[in-house]
Amino acid sequence: MKIVVTGGLGFIGSHTVVELQNEGFEVVIIDNLSNADEKVLEGIEAITGKKPIFEKMDLRDKSKVEAFFEKYNDIGGIIHFAASKAVGESVEKPLLYYENNLGVLVYILQELVKKERASFIFSSSCTVYGQADTMPITESAPVKPAESPYGNTKQVGEEIISDTCKVNSQLNAIALRYFNPIGAHSSIKIGELPIGVPQNLVPFITQTGIGLREQLSVFGDDYPTEDGTCVRDYIHVVDLAKAHVAALQRLLDQKNDSNYEVFNLGTGKGSSVLEVIQSFERVSGKKLNYKVVERRPGDVVQAYADTEKANDVLGWKAKSSLDDSMKSAWDWEQKIRD
């Protein structure tokens, strides 16, 4: 069965394509290469023995989206990763984010509602919870006002899908709210490829470890947490990828309880910034050069997932430890700087 993966050459997308192909799905990737490299296709092929179909295209062109769905009229499901994700950039360029993350979503849904039955998986984020009042965060925790246009696109994106599902019973959708995806495939043939200076913690750590960056800035150590640094739920990207296959399979098997569902994807374990640094030092045998600086505006104190719903309903559980994830991130960093 053919599955479309938009943004399939990106970090989470490429790992998901691998898991889909390992499960026997035929994958069609759509990517505009704005934040990905075509060479990722070779990595996917080296791992799975199969090259996915690749359509280089920008989904902001509505006529191209229509043409795509005409060409591929035998699609079993679609996993939609393609989106912009830099919080700071979204503040500078809100319209780019609304067009890329919401305009495109509307175009795809307009095509899906024409079908007799459609299965749709959406990349959402734990950012929709803002600073949740209680930990761990369950799916019923309230959605808080977004801190950035990026965060808003995830909230509004979910609303667009939910509203569309209400009046289109043949459209079946699952929004997956990711916590913090890190790491790389164990083959180290694919991994994260941040362009420019990484905004996220783990690629910044590994780039500092390899000598590409001088020093990691730890954004604040006076938070109300055990060691004063912020706490997040770091999940191995391969675990996350497998959750997409489980979610898709749920829709294909028509096992979903309603035609719009939401799941948290995390490990359930919170780790502080200092714990992530310690983990890096353990698995790499290197001391990391870091300095505590001012807090970063917009950071929440802590966020980690209640994983019960994903465990029980999707039948999926994250398996990798923080050390496993950090080890794979470090192996990958060493490989790409070779």
Question: Total number of residues binding ligand UD1 (CB under 6 A)?
Answer: 20
Please identify the residue of the shown chain whose CB is closest to the bound ligand UD1.
Answer: 230
SS3 of 189, please? coil
Helix (H) or strand (E) holding 327: helix 322-336
CB of 21 to ligand UD1, least distance (A): 25
Contact between 87 and ligand UD1 (CB under 6 A)? yes
Catalytic residues: 150
- C-alpha 250/C-alpha 270 separation (Å) is 28
75, 251, 273, 305: which one binds ligand UD1 (CB under 6 A) = 273
CB of 96 to ligand UD1, least distance (A): 16
- C-alpha 147/C-alpha 303 separation (Å) is 15
Cβ-based nearer residue to ligand UD1, 111 or 147: 147
Cβ-based nearer residue to ligand UD1, 68 or 204: 204
200, 207, 225, 256: which one binds ligand UD1 (CB under 6 A) = 200
The values of phi and psi at residue 113, to 5°, are: -70, -10
Tokens of 235: 């999940």
Site string for ligand UD1, 166-195 (x = CB under 6 A): --------------x---------------
Query: What is the distance of C-alpha 112 from the center of its chain?
Result: 22
CB of 269 to ligand UD1, least distance (A): 14
Site string for ligand UD1, 47-76 (x = CB under 6 A): ------------------------------
Q: Which stretch binds ligand UD1 (CB under 6 A): 33-41, 200-208, 280-288, 317-325?
A: 200-208
Q: How many CB atoms lie within 10 A of CB 281?
A: 15
Q: What is the DSSP string of 205-230?
A: HHHHHHTSSS-EEEE-S-SSSSSSS-
- C-alpha 85/C-alpha 154 separation (Å) is 10
Contact between 81 and ligand UD1 (CB under 6 A)? no
DSSP conformation class of 137? B
Cβ-based nearer residue to ligand UD1, 25 or 179: 179
Q: Which stretch binds ligand UD1 (CB under 6 A): 116-124, 196-204, 252-260, 307-315?
A: 196-204
Q: Which of the residues 230 through 269 are near ligand UD1 (CB under 6 A)?
A: 230, 232
Contact between 125 and ligand UD1 (CB under 6 A)? yes
Contact between 289 and ligand UD1 (CB under 6 A)? no
CA-based nearest residue to 314, from 235, 250, 242:
250
DSSP conformation class of 101? I
SS3 of 51, please? coil
SS3 of 275, please? helix
C-alpha dihedral (132, 138, 140, 146), degrees to nearest 10: 40
Q: How many CB atoms lie within 10 A of CB 146?
A: 17
User: Residues, the chain, total?
Assistant: 338
Cβ-based nearer residue to ligand UD1, 148 or 320: 148
Contact between 218 and ligand UD1 (CB under 6 A)? yes
Cβ-based nearer residue to ligand UD1, 108 or 218: 218
Binding residues (CB under 6 A) for ligand UD1: these are: 85, 87, 125, 127, 151, 180, 199-201, 204, 216-219, 230, 232, 273, 296, 298-299
